[in-house]
Structure 1
Amino acid sequence: QITLRNRHAFAMVSLPWRRVKGWPEEYLLVSFGLSYRKDSPRIASSVQPYPNRWTHHVIITQADQLDEELLAWLDEAYEFAMGK
């Protein structure tokens, strides 16, 4: 796992460590935290570990999925983490 940090962790990039039904066999998982649940078909899973903190998981199977939309989400996660 690679953790992206400012004062706090705001995103992680990891390889799959267990099989998840319905997910591809090979992928990278990009996870990031926000204060709210972001709604997008690209987000494979979202969990709320505690109030006002949502962790989102995006499956990456191709390099072109590392696009402006995902980078904007990571920028937003960076700003959210800075405000803690």
Structure 2
Amino acid sequence: MNYKLNSMPIQIATEPYLNRRTNDLLITELNDVDDELMGWIKEAAAFSAAK
């Protein structure tokens, strides 16, 4: 992913390879999983599957 998620506080963000990031975030409530986060997860999964 080439961008940061705006609605969630990222705990740890790293770029182990060029244009490949890992992001750790803390989800404490079901309400933390919103449409933006789900879209971000789906996009990340599609990116990973294409590699």
Give TM-score scaled by structure 1 length.
0.51
Q: Which residue of 1 aligns with 2:25?
A: 58
Q: Percentage identity across aligned positions?
A: 34
Q: Which runs of 4+ in 1 moved over 2 A?
A: none
Gaps of 5+ in 1: 1-33
The one of the two structures with greater contact order (alpha-carbon pairs below 8 A, sep at least 6) is: 2
Give TM-score scaled by structure 2 length.
0.76
SS in 2 for 1:47: strand
Q: Which has the higher strand share?
A: 1
Q: Which has the larger radius of gyration?
A: 1
Q: Which has the higher helix share?
A: 2
Q: Report the count of equivalent residues.
A: 50
